[in-house]
Chains A and B, each alone.
Chain A
Amino acid sequence: MLMRRVIPCLDVHAGRVVKGIQFQALRDAGDPVELANIYAQQGADELVLLDVSATPEGREHALTTVQAVRRRLPIPLTVGGGVRKLGDAKALLEAGADKVAVNTAAVSRPELLGEMASEFGGQCTVLALDAARVGDSWRVVVRSGQDRLDLDVVEWAGAAVEAGAGEILLTSWDRDGTGSGYDLELLEAVCGAVGVPVIASGGAETAEHMAQALLAGADAVLAASILHDGLTTVSAIKRRLASLGMEVRL
Chain B
Amino acid sequence: MNADVLIVRTGAANLASVVAAFERLGRSVKITDNAFAVRKAKRVVLPGVGAFAPVAKRLGENGLGEAIRFRVEEDLPTLAICLGLHLLAAGSEEGEEADGLGLLEVVASRYPKSVVVPQLGWNTVEVDEECRLLQEGAAYFANSYRFTDRPPGWQVAWSDHGGPFVAAVERGNVLGCQFHPELSGSWGERLVERWLQCEGGVTC
Mark A residues whose CB is within 8 Å of B: 1-5, 40, 45-46, 67, 70-77, 93-99, 118-124, 166-167, 195-197, 219-220, 249
> Separation in Å of the B193 CB from the closest CB of chain A?
12
Q: Would B183 and A167 count as touching, CB distance under 8 A?
A: no
Q: Would A2 and B144 count as touching, CB distance under 8 A?
A: no
Interface SS of B by simple majority? mixed
The stretch that binds A, out of B35-43, B69-77, B110-118, is: B110-118
Q: Would B122 and A249 count as touching, CB distance under 8 A?
A: yes
Closest to B186 in A: A74
Bound: A75/B120 CA distance, A: 12
- CB of B90 within 8 A of chain A? no
- CB of B109 within 8 A of chain A? no
Selected from B116, B188, B189, the residue in CB contact (under 8 A) with A219 is: B116
Closest to B137 in A: A249
Selected from B117, B121, B161, the residue in CB contact (under 8 A) with A5 is: B121
- CB of B62 within 8 A of chain A? no
| Number of interface residues, chain B, beta carbon within 8 A | 40
Q: Would A94 and B138 count as touching, CB distance under 8 A?
A: no
The stretch that binds A, out of B20-28, B127-135, B146-154, B170-178, is: B20-28
Q: Would B185 and A123 count as touching, CB distance under 8 A?
A: no
Q: Could you tell me which residues of chain B, from 164 to 204, have a CB within 8 Å of some CB in chain A?
A: 180, 182-186, 188-189
Closest to A44 in B: B185
Q: Would A76 and B160 count as touching, CB distance under 8 A?
A: no
Selected from B113, B143, B160, B161, the residue in CB contact (under 8 A) with A123 is: B143
- CB of B123 within 8 A of chain A? yes
Bound: A1/B163 CA distance, A: 9
Q: Would B140 and A75 count as touching, CB distance under 8 A?
A: yes
